[in-house]
Amino acid sequence: MIPIYIVLSGMMFAWNVLIASRVAQLRRAPQKFATLTALSGLLLAPALLIAFAASSILYGRAMQPLLWVWPVVTVMFLLQVMYALSKRLVSPMFGVPIMLYNAVIAAVAVSKFVVSRGAEPPEFVHGLAAAQTSAAGIVFGAAALWRTAYVQVPLLAPALPAHWRATAFARGVLAVIAMGMTAVVLVELPDGLGAVRSYPHYESQRLQERPAGDFALGLKIFPDLSGQVSRLALRNDTALARQLEVDAVSVVLTPEAVEGKNLDSLARSLTGFREDSVLLVVSLGYSPRARGKLGESAESFNQARLRQLDQIIRRLRPDILLPAVEPYGDGARAIGTQPVQFWVDYLTRAAQLGQRLRPAMKVGVSAASYGARDSVLYGWAARPGSPMDVVGFTLLPGFDGATTLDTRMRIAQRWLLQNPGRQKPHWVFNAGGFPAVHGERSQELAIWGALAWATTQTAIKGLIVGEAGDYNSERGLRAPNGRLRPAVAMLARARAGLREAAAP
The pLDDT tens digits for 353-371 are 999 999 999 999 999 999 9
Asked if the model's pLDDT at residue 170 lies above 90, the reply is no
- The contacts of residue 275 (CB under 8 Å, 6+ apart) are none
Looking at the chain, which residues constitute the CATH 3.20.20.80 domain(s)?
212-355+425-502
Mean pLDDT for all residues in the chain: 92
pLDDT band at 91 (very low <50, low <70, confident <90, very high): confident
Quick one: pLDDT at residue 381?
Answer: 96
Share of the chain above pLDDT 70, in %: 98
What pLDDT is recorded for position 89?
A: 86
CB 155 within 8 A of CB 77: yes
Examine the pLDDT at 503 and tell me if it is beyond 80.
no
pLDDT in tens, 310-333: 999 999 999 999 999 999 999 999
Question: What's the rounded Cα separation, in Å, for the pair 283 and 250?
Answer: 8
Name the least confident of 104-118, 166-180, 233-247, 421-435.
Answer: 166-180
Residue 163: its pLDDT value, please?
67
pLDDT at 25: 79
Distance of alpha carbon 336 from alpha carbon 330, whole angstroms = 9
Q: pLDDT digit string (tens) for 418-461?
A: 877 678 999 999 999 999 999 999 999 999 999 999 999 999 99
Which residues 6+ apart lie within 8 Å of 347 measured at CB? 323, 324, 363, 365, 381, 387, 388
**Banded pLDDT at 102 (limits 50, 70, 90):** very high
Per-residue pLDDT averaged across 212-228, rounded?
A: 94
> Is 222 in contact with 255 (CB distance < 8 Å)?
no
Averaged over 161-165, what is the pLDDT? 67
**Lowest-pLDDT choice from 162-171, 222-231, 378-387:** 162-171
Tell me, what's the pLDDT at 162?
Answer: 61
Alpha helices in 425-486 (DSSP H): 435-438, 440-455
Query: Does residue 307 or residue 502 have the better pLDDT?
Result: 307
What is the pLDDT at residue 147?
79
Q: Tell me, what's the pLDDT at 419?
A: 76
* pLDDT value of residue 4: 85
pLDDT, residue 197, reads 96
Distance CA 153, CA 252 (A): 33
The confidence score (pLDDT) of residue 374 equals 96
* pLDDT greater than 70 at residue 28: yes
* In the predicted structure, residue 23 carries a pLDDT above the cut 90: no
Q: What is the pLDDT of residues 480-502, one digit of tens each?
A: 988 999 999 999 999 999 988 77
Query: What is the predicted pLDDT for the residue at 298?
Result: 94
The per-residue pLDDT for 132 is 93
Residue 476 gets which letter from DSSP?
-
Q: What are phi and psi of 254, to 5 degrees?
A: -90, 165
Taking the C-alpha atoms of 60, 65, 66 and 67 in order, what is their torsion angle to the nearest 10 degrees?
60
Beta bridge partners of 427: 392, 462
What is the pTM for the complete model shown?
Answer: 0.93
- The predicted pLDDT at position 484 comes to 95
Q: Encode pLDDT of 235-264 as tens digits.
A: 999 999 999 999 999 999 999 999 878 899
- Give the pLDDT of residue 472: 83
Query: pLDDT (tens digit, 9 = 90+) per residue, 459-472?
Result: 999 999 989 999 88
> What was the pLDDT predicted at 281?
98
- Residues of 387-422 as b/e, b for ≥16 C-beta within 10 angstroms? bbbbbbbbbbbbbbbbbbbbebbebbeebbeeeeee
Neighbours of 112 (CB within 10 A): 26
Q: The CATH number of 212-355+425-502 is which of 3.30.300.30, 3.30.70.3400, 3.20.20.80, 3.40.50.300? A: 3.20.20.80
Residue-level pLDDT at 88:
87
- Split at pLDDT 50, 70, 90, the class of 135 is very high
The pLDDT value recorded for residue 481 is 87
Alpha-carbon gap, residue 285 to 186, rounded angstroms: 36
